Each structure stands twice: as C-alpha cells, then as structure tokens.
Amino acid sequence: MNAYEAYMKEISQPMRDELTGAGFTELVTPDEVDEYISSVKGTSLVVINSVCGCAAGLARPAAIKSLENEKRPDHLATVFAGQDREATARMRDYLEGYEPSSPSMAILKDGQVLHFIPREHIEDHEVEEIVENLTNAYEKL
C-alpha cells in the first residue's frame, strides 16, 4: 500500500465505522459481494458509501435514521466507492440498469433491485426527504 492509499484508508475509516456501527455489513472484495448477494434471503439496504460531503451530511445519516422505522429491510450492507473499487464495481454489476452513482442506495430483495436512490436524489435534498424516500420504499416491501 502506498502512502496515498494508507492516508485514504485512515481518513475513510470513520466514514466506514458510521455505517458498520449502525449494523451494516461492509463488503470489501468482489467475493464478499458475490457471497452476500447469493446467500442473503429477503430484503437488503445497500449503501454505496463515499468520502464526499453529500455522503457525510446526507446519505449516511439518512440511511441510519431510516432504520428507526418499524418496517425496514432484513439485511444491511455497504461498499465504499473510491476505496474498495473492485467490490464496488461488483456490487454495481448487481444494480443492472442503474448508472454508477456514489453515494447511492439500493433496496434489493433476493438480489433483485426494488428501489434505487442515485446521487442526484441525495445531493441538494434534506436528510428528512431521503429518509422519507427510503421509508416509503420499506412500506412496499
């Protein structure tokens, strides 16, 4: 690992911890993504995390707050765009039909996308709007 990679890993750790501390499973390799998608039954919220300000101020807080809802996904997972590139690319393979976007969020059921929130529906929106977007999707699960 070069100095830049080591620095970015150190800088991004609190951003990772924010989601893993809330119960998200972090997937850091393509094999972990494949294993997760093939083995998890039921519904999942997948957050494609990033170091940008809209991930910090909007996406992560909204994803976590949405879990306070009575109806919520069975499983939680995250990949980190720009950090775990191969894992993120592999997760995006499962989000077929949706443009790569980070941060973004997807609700999957048995590996199939039911709902997708791209960056443009995160950036310049309020946390409460994003939470409402997620919780409305949870109600349809």
CA distances from 29 to 4, 14, 23, 41, 89 (A): 20, 19, 19, 20, 10
DSSP secondary structure code for residue 78 in this structure: E
Q: Angle formed by the axes of helices 30-39 and 85-94, to 10°?
A: 30
Q: Measure Cα distances from 136 to 66, 72, 94, 103, 129 in Å.
A: 10, 10, 22, 19, 10
Selection from 76, 77, 75, 79 nearest residue 89 by Cα:
79
- Determine the Cα–Cα distance for residues 140 and 39; give it in Å rounded to an integer: 23
- 54 in active site: yes
Q: Which of 54, 58, 59, 122 is catalytic?
A: 54
Q: Which of 15, 47, 48, 52 is catalytic?
A: 52
Q: Active-site residues: which are they? A: 52, 54
